Amino acid sequence: MKYNVAISVDVFGLTTSADHDMGIGQDIVEMTREADYVCPMVYPSHYPRGSYGIEHPNSQPYRTVYIGLGHAVKKLGVNSKKLRPYLQDFSLGYKYNVEEVLAQAQACYDNDIYEWTLWNPASKYNYLALKSTEVINKKKLDKPAEIPPEILVSTSPAVQPE
């Protein structure tokens, strides 16, 4: 039976870059075909050290999110319009403030993604980041000249986020 409701799926952020289902059945391309929206959780704190050639992905929220979403846009093609990523609005190993939250939003915009959702496990959101109409000075952001090729993501329990 077909219902008149939109369906969204949440997927791990690394699914945007993995060339397999990561051993957890999350194939972002296949899932996106069946959903109205796909929401990769591209929290920089959840990327292992060295992801995308970034020593500490959590300390570079713009670059981490920009590259991860760039992979998603490339993989999904026309379906990339369904992307609505979750962005990090919490500190875990690195202090997140207004600048870090806005940097992730800018990474979305720079990938032609204009909808996103903030997440904080304690539901304590950075009001100033949401209120800000200030545009981030892109010269401060470490935007790669090109998005590196997709990476093989290990599903080994030995690989842990920062």
Residue 136 scores a pLDDT above 80? no
List pLDDT tens digits, range 27-66.
Answer: 999 999 999 999 999 999 999 999 999 999 999 999 999 9
CATH code of the domain covering residue 73: 3.20.20.80
Range(s) of the domain holding residue 78:
8-140
Q: What is the pTM of this model?
A: 0.83
- What rounded mean pLDDT belongs to the chain? 85
Whether 150 is covered by a domain: the verdict is no
58: left (phi over 0), alpha (psi -120 to 50) or beta: alpha
Q: What is the mean pLDDT of residues 2-9?
A: 88
Q: 128 lies in a domain? A: yes
* Contacts by residues 72-78 (CB-CB < 8 Å, ≥ 24 positions apart): 72/16, 72/28, 72/40, 72/111, 73/111, 73/112, 73/113, 74/147, 74/150, 75/16, 75/28, 75/29, 75/150, 76/28, 76/29, 76/32, 76/38
Q: Is residue 44 one of the residues assigned to a domain?
A: yes
Check residues 57 and 142 and name the one with the higher pLDDT.
57
In a domain, 27, yes or no: yes
DSSP 66-135: HHHHHHHHHHHGGGGGGB--EEE-S-SSS---HHHHHHHHHHHHTTT----EEE-TT----HHHHH--PP
In a domain, 131, yes or no: yes
* Whether 155 contacts 22, CB under 8 Å: yes
Q: Is residue 39 part of a domain?
A: yes
Q: Is residue 123 part of a domain?
A: yes
- At 3 the pLDDT is 79
Number of separate domains in the chain: 1
pLDDT > 90 fraction of the chain, expressed in percent and rounded: 70
Ranking 87-91, 108-112, 156-160 by mean pLDDT, the lowest is 156-160
CA distances from 74 to 27, 37, 84 (A): 14, 16, 15
Tokens of 80: 């990339």
Which pLDDT tens digit goes with each residue over 94-117?
999 999 999 999 999 999 999 999
Mapped onto helix, strand or coil, the DSSP state of residue 37 is strand
| φ, ψ of residue 158 in degrees (nearest 5) | -75, -20
Query: For residue 15, is it within any domain?
Result: yes
